[in-house]
Structure 1
Amino acid sequence: MNGRTFRRAASAAAIAATAMLGTTTLAHAEPEPAPKTPVELGIEQLTAAAGDDADAKAAVASTVKTAQLVTAAKLGNVAFAPFAYQAPTLGCGHDIPLTLTAASAVAGGTPGSLGAIPGTLRFQAVTAHSGMPLASGLTVVWLNVNNGRSGINMLDDLTEYGIASLSKTVDSGPGNVIASLWGTIDYPGARCLVTPTVGLFNVPDLPPPPPTEAPAPENTPAPAAPADSGSGAPPAAN
């Protein structure tokens, strides 16, 4: 091997070693992505559930922004019952172009929860329109910033008489829950358009209710014994 050939071989080996070293360095320089937090996973689920619905996307964005502020501020248990403000509502008053809709949420197992079990959250809306609603198009977007649970739910519960109750109970689990509520409500001859409102609620970590014991069976009285004649012998023939 002459000198020129040796120099070419050495250069090729150096280039190969440099390329291999660079590949190894790049492989070690990229850290593995950190696992997503429950809140990040919840936000992804909300974004996917909103799809192309413009109203739902806007409500999700508002909910996420509030959740980020609450998380950054490290707020503790916040026991709010109503939403932050009453929602301006169109078409829901008699001869009044603009009214307000009050929205609230009550944690299960607490006073006013109407028997809802602990770990749940019951959303409720009350409008300024008189009469019974025909149908509810209200929707709530919610996100638990402690456990990542989330959902987009219609307030479509019905009363025992089949009337829209303008309410919905969700399985949020304990923690701080951010929620946005908006939508429509149909009344005879009127449709109410409820603009979005945002709220922050706390669901306490309460123990589940004790199991209901079955009632003890009632003691059934034993059948009466036949009357005893006293002697036990058959009566004598005349």
Structure 2
Amino acid sequence: MNGRSIARAAAAVTALGFGAVLTLTGTAVAEPSPVDTGLEQLTTAAGADPAAQAGVGALDQFTKLVDVAELHNVAAAFTPFAYAAPTFGCGSVGPITTIIAAASTDGNTINGGVDPVPGTLRFSATPAHSGSPLSSGLVVAWLNVNTGASGLTTLDDRTELGLPTLSKTVASGPGTVIASMWGMIDYPSAHCVMTPTVGMFFVPNLPVQAPPPPAPEVAPAAAGAPQAAPAPSQPIAAQDEIAHQTPAN
């Protein structure tokens, strides 16, 4: 091999080296964001269920309409979803009714829900249909955009009488939470189908209130405290009488 051949080979190796570096640099994959991770988990959880796919799809579209990375303190303690969800099958007040969905971080719901603890979020629904529901098939897809935590949760809480409250508390963790809600509600004479609605909520990380301190115990009497007065000594007259009765030596 002559000098020219060696030079050409060296140049080829150098070019291949630079090409490999450029190729590796060009194919580097950025770490997925918490939103991407959460949406992927929700899509997997939805599986082949068309209703769940529509709900998660609505949430995915919602993330494209808002800049979730820049959201801070987007909601107060009680916040409704972005719009009332069109609902079909509740024909007693019209062919299409609505369900107002909301989420809360404190305060009781109209159905008697208890206060959520810090770091949790309670979802609830209020249908326009009158009467007490018999069963709830409402579902919420929620995603914490700060941490990537997510879940598909059925609103299956019940009252003491066994009736659906149309509410559920989820352990979302503190941060900004986006969610969609959809599903079915059965009434004695109606079968309501709720189409997805979307919303955005802020869950504060409030400190847990410490329990009150125990009542102080009654302390024993301290040294030097006033003591009971000693029994009085015998009067002087009685002492003289005793002395007279003592025989002399």
Q: Provide the TM-score with structure 2 as the length reference.
A: 0.73
Structure 2 residue aligned with 1:200: 200
Residue of structure 2 equivalent to 1:170: 170
- In structure 1, the residue matched to 2:92 is 94
Cα distance in 2 between the residues matched to 1:89 and 1:215: 55
Size of the alignment, in residue pairs?
Answer: 208
Indicate the residue corresponding to 2:59 in structure 1: 63
- In 1, Cα distance between equivalents of 2:117 and 2:87: 31
2:123 paired with 1:123: yes
1:1-238 pair list within 5 angstroms: 6=1, 11=5, 14-15=8-9, 17-18=10-11, 20-29=13-22, 30-31=24-25, 32-71=28-67, 74-79=70-75, 81-94=79-92, 96-107=94-105, 110-112=106-108, 114-211=114-211
Paired-residue identity, %: 50
Which of structures 1 and 2 has the bigger CA Rg?
Answer: 2
Q: Which letter maps to 2:19?
A: L
CA separation of 1:215 and 1:98: change in aligned 2, threshold 3 A: farther
Q: Secondary structure at the match of 1:57?
A: helix
Structure 2: gaps (5+ residues): 218-249
Structure 1: runs of 5 or more not aligned: 1-5, 218-238
Between the aligned partners of 1:33 and 1:63, the Cα distance in structure 2 is 25
Whether the aligned pair in 2 keeps the contact of 1:93 and 1:128 (CA below 8 Å) is no
C-alpha displacement at 1:142, in angstroms? Answer: 1.2
What is the rounded CA distance, in whole Å, between the counterparts of 2:145 and 2:69 in structure 1?
12
Structure 1 CA distance for aligned equivalents of residues 215 and 163 of structure 2: 33
Paired position in structure 2 for 1:220: none
SS for the counterpart of 1:65 is helix
Letter in 1 for 2:63: A
Could you tell which deviates more after superposition, 182-191 or 158-167? Answer: 158-167
Q: Counterpart of 2:191 in 1: which secondary structure?
A: strand
Q: So what's the TM-score if we normalise by structure 1?
A: 0.76
| Inter-partner Cα distance in structure 1 for 2:37 and 2:212 | 36
Checking the alignment, whether the CA contact within 8 Å between 1:145 and 1:176 is kept in structure 2 is yes
